[in-house]
Structure 1
Amino acid sequence: MPDPRDHLLSWLKDAHAAEEQAITMLSNLDRRIENYPELKARIEQHIDETRRQSARVEECLKSLGSDTSMLKAVGTKLMGLGQGISGIFTSDEIAKGVLACYTFEHMEIASYRMLVGAAKQAGEPEVQRVCEEILEEEKAMAKWLEDHLEDLTQKFLAREATEATAKH
């Protein structure tokens, strides 16, 4: 029978790689936001949170005698870079960027919920606590995006109707 700890370690490596991808994706979007100051501020706040989350997940891995997966980290950073570059060529970059962030947050929420359960099953209360705290931050970001999605969409459409800089 597989040890729940093995899954916990694998999923923590996945979570670390996802946090690294999020840093790349959010940073690329943040650099190009010009006309949505509220979104820019929240993205910058979440970049800081995400950097701390990545470090905390890495600490969890080390406490369990493991480390991050270099292959996963490099692969997901490249995916994040690709997502950032692809937005440059679309006229609705801000709308697609918000959509990508909202979707990504929900993937992370599901991931951390699984990690909480795995840590509990593996008898790792400190890892469980860290994952619960990160889960709450991810839920807060998803909620902020949900609460602002309609307004951001309306601002984008209004800007697009009047000027060429709606995409950022």
Structure 2
Amino acid sequence: MRWSVRGRTAKEYLMSTTKDNLVAWLRDAHAMEEQAETMLKAQYERIENYPDLKARIGEHLEETRQQAKSLESCLNRIGGGSSTIKDMAGKVTAFGQSLGGLFVSDEIVKGSLASYTFEHFEIASYRILIAAAEFAGDQQTRAVCEGILKEEIAMAKWLEDNLPVVTEAYLKRAEAEVTAKR
């Protein structure tokens, strides 16, 4: 006797569930990149006194825009499409986070901390997507996610290496009583 659920064999059901999960997680990742774009853009526009950080944020902003497009292509290829609701929720969240920086004196330090934390969230998300794509046999999605993962790791490493530099620059500016916030 063959086991079935809703008229599908166990293998068909499992693969459907795998694809459903992959699509849902790709939608989450797309929304995450939309959120990242909003946060990075706000941060980039406000940075005034930290040229190296501003340049790297600008570089990663462009990477992030391309990442969102790549994820949307994966979703379109496998029949998922992005989620307007998730994308909007991510943008609203990012907008709220960017407003929070307006009311703290150490915005540049807290923004760097938030960026470092967010990069690691993204790294974990792409590792999950790579495993899911591999399990689903979707090598194109896996390759896209591996490329994005490399960029996220590079950004996290840059932030890790530069957190002390940004912090010291902030503290020097604060002690000199010049605009240190951004």
Give the TM-score category using the shorter length: over 0.9
Greater mean deviation of Cα atoms: 75-84 or 157-166: 157-166
CA distance in 2, matches of 1:48, 1:163: 34
Residue in structure 2 matched with residue 115 of structure 1 by the alignment: 129
CA distance in 2, matches of 1:152, 1:119: 37
Residue in structure 2 matched with residue 55 of structure 1 by the alignment: 69
Please state if 1:19 is matched with 2:33.
yes
Q: Could you tell me which of 133, 145, 149 is aligned with 1:135? A: 149
SS in 2 for 1:163: coil
User: 5+ residue gaps in structure 2?
Assistant: 1-12
**For residue 128 of structure 2, what is the amino acid of its counterpart?**
M
Deviations along 1:47-95, one digit per CA (max 9) or x if unpaired, are 0000000000000000001111111000010000011111011100000
Residue in structure 2 matched with residue 34 of structure 1 by the alignment: 48
Q: Could you tell me which of 109, 118, 126 is aligned with 1:104? A: 118
Q: How does 1:78-97 map to 2 (within 5 A)?
A: 78-97=92-111
Please state if 1:155 is matched with 2:172.
no
Please state if 1:46 is matched with 2:60.
yes
Please state if 1:10 is matched with 2:24.
yes
From the CA coordinates, give the structure whose radius of gyration is larger: 2
Please state if 1:67 is matched with 2:101.
no
CA distance in 2, matches of 1:165, 1:26: 21
CA distance in 1, matches of 2:80, 2:26: 10
Please state if 1:76 is matched with 2:68.
no
CA distance in 1, matches of 2:120, 2:42: 20
CA positional deviation for 1:38? 0.1
CA positional deviation for 1:162? 0.7
Question: Structure 1 stretches (4+) deviating beyond 2 angstroms?
Answer: none
